[in-house]
Amino acid sequence: MRAAAAVVSCLLLSACAGGGPKKLVADACIREADQRLTGKTYEIDADKLLASAVQADAPDTYQVSGPIIFDRGLASEFTQMLKCKARIDGNTASVISIEFIWSMEDLKKAE
């Protein structure tokens, strides 16, 4: 009886704590963007980033991408795409690469 209760408890805890490797990658990429964009006003849609997760080059590597909006609501508002790749190692993810991709249309509007 105790063994069954322990198994059920472990399953419940793992369901609540996780989100799997894709969530680990999305979270690591958001943290990396936060570090690189310190002092800037921006928004990243974490749900879109998570939904975009696909396995990349290796079984333990995933890539995510999604819009990143700078200065929302201001005349200077613009959008870039965030593209990030990270490797899973146990319960952590390490960012391998991160790109901020400019849209040429946004650059032309500024002129």
Domain containing residue 26: CATH number: 3.10.450.630
Domain residue limits at 64: 19-110
Residue 1 covered by a domain:
no
Tens digit of each residue's pLDDT (9 = 90 or more) over 15-61: 444 579 999 999 999 999 999 999 999 999 999 999 999 998 888 99
Distances (CA, A) of 71 to 32, 43, 61, 75: 19, 8, 31, 8
Residue 41 covered by a domain:
yes
For residues 85 and 56, is the Cβ–Cβ distance under 8 A? yes
Tens digit of each residue's pLDDT (9 = 90 or more) over 70-95: 999 999 999 999 999 999 999 999 99
Residue 2 covered by a domain:
no
Task: State how many domains the chain has.
Answer: 1
pLDDT: which is higher, 79 or 12: 79
Residue 47 covered by a domain:
yes
Residues 6+ apart with CB under 8 A from 46: 26, 27, 30
Residue 86 covered by a domain:
yes
Taking phi over 0 as left and psi of -120 to 50 as alpha, with beta for the rest, 76 belongs to alpha
pLDDT at 64: 97
